[in-house]
Amino acid sequence: MNKFFKKFLIVLSVLIVMFPIINLQTIQAEDDPEVNASAAMAFDANTGQIIYSKNAEKKVAIGSITKIITLYLVTQAIKDGKIKESDQLTPTTEQSEMTQDDELTNVRLDTDKAYTVKDLYDAAWIVSSNSAAMMLAQKVSGDQASFVKLMRKTLKSWGIKDAEINNVSGLNNSDLKEGMYLGNSDAENKLSVNDIAIVTKHILNKYPEILKTTSQQKLTFPEGSETKTYPSLDLLLDGARDYQEGYEFDGLKTGTTKQAGDSFVGTLPMGNSRIVTIVMNASGDDSDQDKRFRTTQALAKYVKDNFTNKKVLSEGQTVTDGNKKYKNKNDVYMWLSKDFNENSLSYNVSKTDLGFKVKADKKTVKMIATNTPGGYLPYPKEQVVIKKIKKVQKSFWHQITEFFENLF
């Protein structure tokens, strides 16, 4: 009997130690995606919830993904009325010459021709025209160096403190002429996947209409007295060679340089939400032009096959943070693996700009789940820079006059 009891205790002890390991609530989806890239992420564009990430904090070269920042600021300038889509712009000699180099661009621009802001805007998004991006930046800020400073300032306001942004196009500075960049002559733009996710969420939040442009399969662009048609560089769009039915990508931006490799930020509607995928420096043969898109598809398939966008809270439901109770203002959905019990979620008042709205004591705040498998983007509240008003120094005689006026 004693021997049996000792054996029973040993077996029981082993089971107790093993239990946390096999607890279903701590297990993510069984099959990890085959993400052949230096860094990657999949997240919900609406909520900022991370579903998958790999080396998300590692700073990497971003190539033409830079243009998401550039075109955010150009879109902002159009919306604010600082520039018009109908404005006519003419390229400089240097910008025109760059369009004759097949490795740097694919849309021809001539110095004796004028192009509308709308044509250049579409060219920068759809076929990643570097010179088009430069011309737009100059139109907004007067020169490219000033625009780069605006890009840096914008990223800092979004909580991205250590960005390396040197030019508006994403090329290596060595490919550019003097006046087209800041920093060292061989510097390249670099961000982390976390940073790219923050940038992408900002543009999709504020200007979702950009998807009308990024979803276009072709660009029709004026060339001489005629027009020329260019296919989109996004090969996941409907009709392109890497398109797969059920995965309706409608953006967003490719990036390619020697340092950046083949990279892609994609986005597609999924369920009742929108997913963003980020694949940086996809691995594979140099001649393989589809590797970033196959990797992106694998990442999107992983999300679709292993996760469900579940309703975890209903409108009017009570949510607790510590001893304080809040009333939820809307239905709340989260991406959870199919074996995850949503009743095990816990919530805190959000310290970032993410979260769902709740109300207590006539005050509305945001709350966020603290134990989702992937967590959330580091998405701080945007810092608004308030210009200080200089106090006008009154003259000595003005002060004396005011003194006597105030006596009567």
Q: Could you tell me which of 344, 342, 319, 343 has the C-alpha nearest to residue 329?
A: 319
pLDDT bin (cut points 50, 70, 90) of residue 101 is confident
Domain membership flag for residue 103: yes
Q: What is the pLDDT of residue 384?
A: 54
Domain membership flag for residue 238: yes
Domain membership flag for residue 97: yes
User: How many domains does the structure of the chain reveal?
Assistant: 1
- Max intra-chain CA distance, the chain: 108
Distance CA(324)–CA(320), nearest Å, equals: 6
Distance CA(348)–CA(131), nearest Å, equals: 47
pLDDT bin (cut points 50, 70, 90) of residue 29 is very low
Q: Could you read off the pLDDT of 326-335 as tens digits, one per residue?
A: 999 999 999 9
pLDDT at 9 > cutoff 60? no
Distance CA(365)–CA(379), nearest Å, equals: 16
What average pLDDT does this structure show over 215-232? 94
Domain membership flag for residue 296: no
Phi, psi (deg, nearest 5) at residue 210 = -60, -25
pLDDT bin (cut points 50, 70, 90) of residue 102 is confident
pLDDT bin (cut points 50, 70, 90) of residue 387 is very low
**Contact assessment for residue 135 and residue 152, using Cβ atoms and an 8 Å cutoff:** no
Q: What is the CATH classification number for the domain harbouring 142?
A: 3.40.710.10
Domain membership flag for residue 279: no
Could you list the active site residues? 64, 67, 128
Range of the domain at 60: 54-248
Q: What is the pLDDT of residue 31?
A: 58
pLDDT bin (cut points 50, 70, 90) of residue 20 is very low
Q: Could you read off the pLDDT of 156-200 as tens digits, one per residue?
A: 999 999 999 999 999 999 999 989 999 999 999 999 999 999 999
Q: What is the pLDDT of residue 238?
A: 97
Higher pLDDT, 96 or 14: 96
Q: What is the pLDDT of residue 3?
A: 52
Domain membership flag for residue 260: no
Domain membership flag for residue 362: no
Cα four-point dihedral sign 315, 348, 46, 385: positive
H/E stretch holding 22: helix 2-22
Domain membership flag for residue 109: yes
What are all long-range contacts of 49-55, with beta carbons under 8 Å and residues at least 24 apart?
49/334, 49/335, 49/372, 49/374, 49/375, 49/376, 50/197, 50/374, 50/375, 50/376, 50/377, 51/275, 51/303, 51/307, 51/335, 51/374, 52/299, 52/302, 52/303, 52/374, 53/193, 53/374, 54/193, 55/193
**Contact assessment for residue 234 and residue 240, using Cβ atoms and an 8 Å cutoff:** yes
- Pairing state between β 347-349 and 363-369: antiparallel
pLDDT at 353 > cutoff 70? yes
* Mean of pLDDT over the chain: 88
Q: Which residues pair with 194 in a beta bridge?
A: none
